[in-house]
Structure 1
Amino acid sequence: MQKRVAVIGGGIIGATAAFYLSYLDQSQSLSVTLFDDDLGQATKAASGIISPWLSKRRNKRWYALAKQGAAFYPKLIADAKLGPNVYQQTGTIVTRKQPDDLESLYQEAMIKLQHTPAMQDVELLSAREVGRRLPFLTNPPAGIFVKGGAKIDGRCFIEELLKQAQKQRLIVRRQRVFFDKSGQIRTSMGLEKFDTIIVATGAWMKGTLKPLNYLVKIRPQKGQLIDLAVNPLRYRSRLPVLMPEGSSDIIPFSQRKLVVGATHENDGGFDLKATAKAQTLLLKNAQVFDNRLKAGQIMQTRVGTRAYTDDFAPFFGRLPSNPNILLGGGLGSSGLTTGPIIGYLLAKAIVDEQWGHWEAFTRPLSNYII
């Protein structure tokens, strides 16, 4: 008899978990259903960067998880047969405003490179050398090039990953579902019982677990980014990403589209309306480096809702009082890096029926769920 598994939430954790629950060799014994209503999902609104190694964050668990997540991507891309429209390893250029800070960061990068194969290589670049790598910039900054850095299109990632999973065994149901007090799931077909459930509903997790009398210490944050149409004559294919200190990331995602973002709006809550204020801010941030960009080039503004914890760290694990329920969330702005590895670890635990020791990556769930 097949074991019934439900994944609630089709963002980056849920989609990755659902894929591996359908893909891993031992998963033939599972019947897997993913529930998702697509509302406000941060992943589908995002184009982002996989390059955690030179982050200013000093949370050791977060760094261990992010480092593992970045190294995991080539396996995931190969397993799911995802193409360059989803993921491109083009390198990233990280900047610092002060030359001394840039030099210190370079020394740190060289030390990390010795025991971080995923970084591949590191170069200290002058402003002129950055301009050669990103020829569309009119005011290039000096920076550090990390060869192993990559960029990813969140919407394409989710859609292609679930498409591959559905070719295996995954069932996708586009609806919002709720727990009843007994731990069953209330769906459009009535109450349904599953043997194991993964909850990965992002900023909405507080509401998801409320019927089970759990309080989730999580808050929503609104994020906006803009897509600009650009002149393909100024853009080569596979350009690196620019990560300026204290400003918005600049992601040349194709020869015709430039992505700038994203905002971090703590008072935005679950509001999904694009705002002129955010458009203006993001455009001005990009114009510092390319003064030819104009408001008329903005094709669209994408809006999503991130989930943040009090310590800005992701969490995942198994609910001690409801061991058939697993959680993953609180990704914040590093979701594209940390989400897939969390989804994989949760799926692997279910398939192998061996619950991992994840203390190196996350604090106990009791720090986030009470």
Structure 2
Amino acid sequence: MQRIGIIGGGIVGALTAYFLKEAGFNDITIFDRQIGQATAASAGIISPWLSKRRNQKWYHLANDGASLYPQIVKTAKITAAAYQQTGTIITRANSTTVEALFALAQMRKISAPMMQEIRIISADEIMKMIPQTQINSAGVYISGGARIDGAQFVSEVNKYTQVKYINESVHLTANGKIEGYPEFDKIIVATGAWLQETLIPLNYAVNVRPQKGQLIELIDAQTITVKKQPVLMPEGESDFIPLGEGRIIIGASHENDAGYDLKPTPIIKDYLLKSAQKINPQLRHAQITKMRVGTRAYTPDFAPFFGYLPEYPNIYVASGLGSSGLTTGPMIAKLLAELIINRQTDISAYTKPISEYIKFKN
């Protein structure tokens, strides 16, 4: 049986291990230094269907990635703390825009039955579903949308797969091995914004940039508790993610000029809190219990990429997932696993050739 080494334990690394384990691979090791990882800092929304992105490869990844969650959740016995189908609400100030959004949802549902119930929802209905909020706009409700906690989800997946996990920063050698460890038959490099750094020994230039993302966790003892509240994506404000028991997550920011800085930023903290208070004025009494900070990877065309390196065909890479990594990550992981099993797997419907983003320096 082949030995598999995975560098990077975020959503792509963890789920590639999951799909390989499901396919019968048992000798899998994940290496992760757990510093700045985008997945570990994330709390996201799985609801890609109303995106206006024109990139059809991205939409195929996002739609198919979202559709994989129910089976993963069932098989790996993922808890509601990590993933829960709560429904999502996307608001718009203009009624014409709401109707256009609803029409788009109906069209998208043809190829995305996971969306389930779709309907236009009034501001009054939204305020009943998410108590104490003050909403002035109607929106579109999609019952199949979900919320996810990146760190918790990956932790539970790893518990299920029981792969060997080493909390360590490792390096590749010039001949494509993991320094200091016995030889692996296949290596997956899923180090996100650090892919350039990881591939330096192999003499590659990688067109990926870092983006800082921050979000806040709030708790308010005076918040009315409803067991399962939908996630709210309000126009012009940060995403509002109720967790129950007075806990709410707000965010995240998109900061292009912060490099790899992982320090919480007071101005962002204040912005996110004020955004939350616009949605729920009651949160003026809330306490910020945690601020999560991570580094995303972006490409110039905002598209993820993945595949194997032609010069090192035993090495597979993935990066550029951006702020939708929790949505596209599962399908990228599944396709990487399929490529490892069968190099001839066609991934052209999901990504451009890897040479568009990585150049070998002769």
Q: TM-score, normalised by structure 1?
A: 0.94
Deviation at 1:327, TM superposition (A): 0.9
Stretch moving more, 359-368 or 286-295: 286-295
How far, CA to CA, are the matches of 2:289 and 2:52 in structure 1?
Answer: 32
| CA distance 1:354–1:154, shift in 2 (3 Å) | same
Report whether the alignment pairs 1:272 with 2:262: yes
The letter of the residue matching 1:193 is: E
Pairing partner for 1:96 from 92, 95, 98: 92
* CA distance in 2 between partners of 1:255 and 1:311 (Å): 40
**Equivalent in the alignment of 2:69:** 73
Query: In the alignment, which residue of structure 2 is the partner of 1:283?
Result: 273
**Structure-1 separation of matches of 2:346 and 2:282:** 51
The AA in structure 1 aligned to 2:53 is R
Letter in 1 for 2:327: T
Uncovered stretches (5+) of structure 2, i.e. residues with no partner: none
> Where do residues 65-214 of structure 1 align in structure 2 (5 Å cutoff)?
65-166=61-162, 170-186=163-179, 190-214=180-204
1:231 to partner: Cα distance: 2.9
Matched residue, 1:42: 38
Quote the Cα distance in structure 1 between the aligned partners of 2:30 and 2:230: 34
Distance 1:225 1:317 in 2: 31
SS at match of 1:252: strand
Aligned to 2:13: 14
How far apart are the structure 2 equivalents of 1:365 and 1:248?
A: 33
**Cα contact 1:140–1:289 (8 A) shared by 2:** no
Comparing 283-292 and 172-181, the one that deviates more: 283-292
Q: In the alignment, which of 325, 335, 343 is matched to residue 325 of structure 2?
A: 335
What are the superposed Cα offsets for residues 87-144 of structure 1, whole Å, 9 maximum, x if unpaired?
Answer: 1001000112322211111111122223320111101011111111111203353110
Alignment check: 8 A CA contact 1:130 1:141 kept: no
User: Counterpart in 2 of 1:215?
Assistant: 205
Q: Give how far 1:153 is off.
A: 0.7
- Name the SS of the counterpart of 1:222 in structure 2: strand
Determine the structure 2 residue equivalent to 1:320: 310
d(CA) in 2 for partners of 1:81, 1:22:
15
1:5: which partner in 2? 4
CA gap of 1:104–1:232, structure 2 versus 1, over 3 A, is same
Q: CA deviation at 1:21?
A: 2.1
Structure 1 residues 323-361: Cα deviation after superposition (integer angstroms, max 9, x where no partner): 1111111100000101122112212332x3343111111
Whole-Å separation in 1 of the counterparts to 2:57 and 2:22: 28
Q: 1:358 aligns with which of 322, 344, 347?
A: 347
Contact 2:224 2:246 in 1 (8 A): no
User: Retained in 1: the 8 A contact 2:124–2:135?
Assistant: no
1:245 Cα deviation from its structure 2 partner: 2.2
8 A Cα contact 1:136 1:235, kept in partner: no
Normalising by structure 2, report the TM-score. Answer: 0.96
Mapped contact 1:130–1:140 kept (Cα < 8 A): no
Equivalent position amino acid for 1:97 in 2: A
Q: What is the distance in 2 between the residues matched to 1:140 and 1:155? A: 34
Aligned residue-pair number: 359
Q: Are 1:283 and 1:295, in contact at CA under 8 Å, matched by a contact in 2?
A: no
RMSD of aligned C-alpha atoms? 1.4
**1:183 to partner: Cα distance:** 0.8
Give the % identical residues: 48
Relative distance call for 1:250 and 1:262 in structure 2 (3 A) is same
SS of alignment partner, residue 119 of structure 2 = strand
SS of equivalent residue, structure 1 residue 103? helix
1:300-328 residue CA offsets vs partner (Å, 9 max, x unmatched): 11100000001001111111121111111
User: Deviations for 1:180-222, whole angstroms, at most 9, x for unmatched residues?
Assistant: 1111111xxx253211110000110010011100111000000
* Contact 2:132-2:282 within 8 A present in 1 as well: no
Equivalent residue letter for 1:266: N
Q: Does 1:346 align with 2:342?
A: no
Which is further off, 210-219 or 288-297?
288-297
Query: How far apart in 2 are the matches of 1:23 and 1:107?
Result: 38
Q: Within 1, Cα distance between the matches of 2:155 and 2:190?
A: 17
> Within 2, Cα distance between the matches of 1:192 and 1:217?
30
Q: Which residue is equivalent to 1:59?
A: 55
